[in-house]
Copies of this chain bind each other. A is one copy, B any other.
Amino acid sequence: MTKEPPRPTPAELEILGVLWELGPSTVREIQEDLDRRRPTGYTTVLKLLQIMTDKGIVRRDVRERAHRYAAKLPREKTEQQMVGDLVDRAFGGSASRLVMRALSTRPATADEVARIRELLDEIEGEKE
């Protein structure tokens, strides 16, 4: 029984986002990316990554001098978990209410709307 890695905190989630986007990266690379959005100190990122390594959230490759970190949590599963959490906590378990809230709050391009429609078709298809 290997125990599940714990859920990422907000700051950890932002780092995971960078790793999912860029792939395995050094502290410097992550810090520079993060720093563009919000001033973020180098050692802060380093410390977070060390903690995340302990927690089993990221994997560390030590072969180069500047260690390279990679997300260990799969993007899909983590996103599911986050969505599920929010649905349960703020939307009384109703995913569709979250969906509608998201759609009426944030813009979606025509392209995205089309893809959502396709997904809805699939869902309805399965029901019969």
Which residues in A have some Cβ–Cβ distance to B below 8 Å?
10, 13-14, 16-17, 20-21, 76, 78-80, 82-84, 86-87, 89-92, 94-110, 112-113, 115-117, 119-120, 123-124, 127
Contact = CB atoms under 8 A, between A and B. Distances in A.
A42 to B, nearest CB: 21
How would you classify the secondary structure of chain A's contact residues: helix, strand, loop or mixed?
Answer: helix
Nearest to A76: B101
B100 A119 contact: yes
A114 to B, nearest CB: 9
Q: Which 5 A-B residue pairs are closest in the complex by CB-CB distance?
A: A95-B106, A96-B112, A80-B105, A95-B102, A96-B108
A12 to B, nearest CB: 10
B96 A123 contact: no
Contacts of A90: 13, 16-17, 78-79, 82
A90 B113 CA distance: 20
